[in-house]
Amino acid sequence: MNFFRMSAHVCRLSVLCLCLSLLSCVLIGSSASSLVTVKRTQMHMGTLVSITALGRSHDDANEAITAGFQEIKRLEQLLSTWISSSELSKVNAAAGQSAVKVSLETMAVVRKSLQVAEMTDGAFNIAIGPAVEAWNISAEPRLPTSEELAAVKPLVDLQSVHTDVWERTIYLEKPGMRIDVGGIGKGYAADQAVLVMKKAGAVAGVVALSGDIKTFGRLPDGTAFPVGIRHPRKEGELLAELDLQDEAISTAGDYERFFDKDGVRYHHILDPRTLQPARGCQSVSVIAKEGIWADGLDTGIFVLGAERGMDLVEQLEDVEAIIVDADGRILVSSGLRNRVRLSKGSGQ
């Protein structure tokens, strides 16, 4: 997975959070119902990961959090393209040569990515890897020449990604092809972390990999978990808040990894047709039962654009969205209108 390398800013934040978690597993409250809430933050998948668990004891909650972090680390070893021994790195290295045997999980992430690609008419495209590299998005983003982009365009070809479910292999037909699941993998990791936390005995909790958040259960006072959505243009301000119960939310924004050149914002979500940053939205937040769908769809809808994206959301069961279009207009899906609390002055 082409997870972003951490910026100095994120590094500083993570150091602070790590210090906090080393000092003590932060006990953020115990309730009348005698549940204990513990929160810890670590750096994984190139981003800050915060896990909160509610358990019947401090040890229960803490063990669940440890299990959640271990699961995320395990998945990173399978899916990260920064790790040369990962399964996806091996698939990429064998492009044009041979099929590579993978785990059930890697196969599941790739197959679901292909489903999201179908749902979004190819706007979501995990074969985007060579274009992500041309923009050097993960390190020091740069403007590639049109020749460079034209050279990698034939490689961004989902028809040349072959999955054999029975043999459990993935084969990339053209040399130089690269799969990048950075647009969907964090959502999947949040889902899987929640599963192991439940197994470890947590009663409720939240797993947040930066903007990919999955919740389960309720707070000690019986209320759902409140989450905030960042305003795409007003730093430090919220666009909206809503409460989640056994749901995931994932946000794709053009403010996450970007640079400005001659007054134009270049960011990390690429339109597979042009290999240029997608221009239809400022941010897309998708709410779904599973993080893998929320994460895949936020990226795909960002590329589709606000109107087509919202049309798709309205067709999908159990999927809702808040989209900020290119002009700063806020679109809220019908199933969310009486749940979401827009911040005062959140429009542009």
Which residues of this chain interact with ligand AMP, rule CB under 6 A? 2, 124-126, 128, 132, 137, 180, 182-183, 252, 256, 268-270, 272, 295, 298-299, 303
Question: Cβ 321 to Mg ion, closest distance in Å?
Answer: 12
Query: Rounded CA gap, 341 and 242, in Å?
Result: 6
Under DSSP, is residue 255 helix (H, G, I), strand (E, B) or coil? coil
Among residue numbers 111 through 170, which ones bind Mg ion (CB under 5 A)?
none
Query: Rounded CA gap, 128 and 113, in Å?
Result: 12
Structure tokens at 333: 């899906």
Query: Rounded CA gap, 169 and 98, in Å?
Result: 10
Question: Cβ 291 to ligand AMP, closest distance in Å?
Answer: 11
**Closest to 291 (Cα-Cα) out of 195, 179, 199, 155:** 195
* Residues paired with 332 in a beta bridge: 322
Please compute, for residue 29, the number of CA atoms within 13 A of its CA located in the half-sphere on the CB side.
Answer: 9
Question: Cβ 289 to ligand AMP, closest distance in Å?
Answer: 17
Question: Cβ 267 to ligand AMP, closest distance in Å?
Answer: 9
| Residue 76 binds which of ligand AMP, Mg ion, none (CB < 5-8 A, kind-dependent) | none
Binds Mg ion (CB under 5 A): choice among 63, 180, 254, 298? 298
Binds Mg ion (CB under 5 A): choice among 21, 37, 282, 299? 299
Query: Rounded CA gap, 292 and 79, in Å?
Result: 14
Residue number, 60 or 254, with CB nearest to ligand AMP? 254
Does position 254 interact with Mg ion (CB under 5 A)? The reply is no
Which stretches of 64-220 are assigned E, i.e. beta strand?
A: 100-101, 161-164, 169-172, 204-209, 212-216
Residue nearest to Mg ion as judged by C-beta position: 299
| Residue 2 binds which of Mg ion, ligand AMP, none (CB < 5-8 A, kind-dependent) | ligand AMP
Structure tokens at 298: 């936020």
Binds Mg ion (CB under 5 A): choice among 87, 133, 271, 295? 295
Residue number, 64 or 188, with CB nearest to ligand AMP? 188
Cα distances (angstroms) measured from residue 79 to each of 90, 97, 181, 222, 346: 10, 20, 7, 36, 36
Residue number, 41 or 299, with CB nearest to ligand AMP? 299
**Region near Mg ion per CB under 5 A, out of 24-32, 117-125, 173-181, 296-304:** 296-304
| Residue 87 binds which of Mg ion, ligand AMP, none (CB < 5-8 A, kind-dependent) | none
Question: Cβ 316 to Mg ion, closest distance in Å?
Answer: 15
Question: Cβ 202 to Mg ion, closest distance in Å?
Answer: 25
- The set of residues, in sequence order, having a beta carbon less than 8 Å from that of 4 and lying 6+ positions away, is 46, 47, 137, 138, 182, 257, 268
* Residues paired with 209 in a beta bridge: 49, 212
Q: Angle at which helices 185-199 and 104-119 pack, to 10 degrees?
A: 130
Question: Cβ 133 to Mg ion, closest distance in Å?
Answer: 18
Residue number, 21 or 138, with CB nearest to ligand AMP? 138
Query: Rounded CA gap, 83 and 65, in Å?
Result: 24
Residue number, 48 or 128, with CB nearest to ligand AMP? 128
Question: Cβ 28 to ligand AMP, closest distance in Å?
Answer: 27
* Residues paired with 204 in a beta bridge: 54
Binding site for Mg ion (CB under 5 A): 183, 252, 295, 298-299
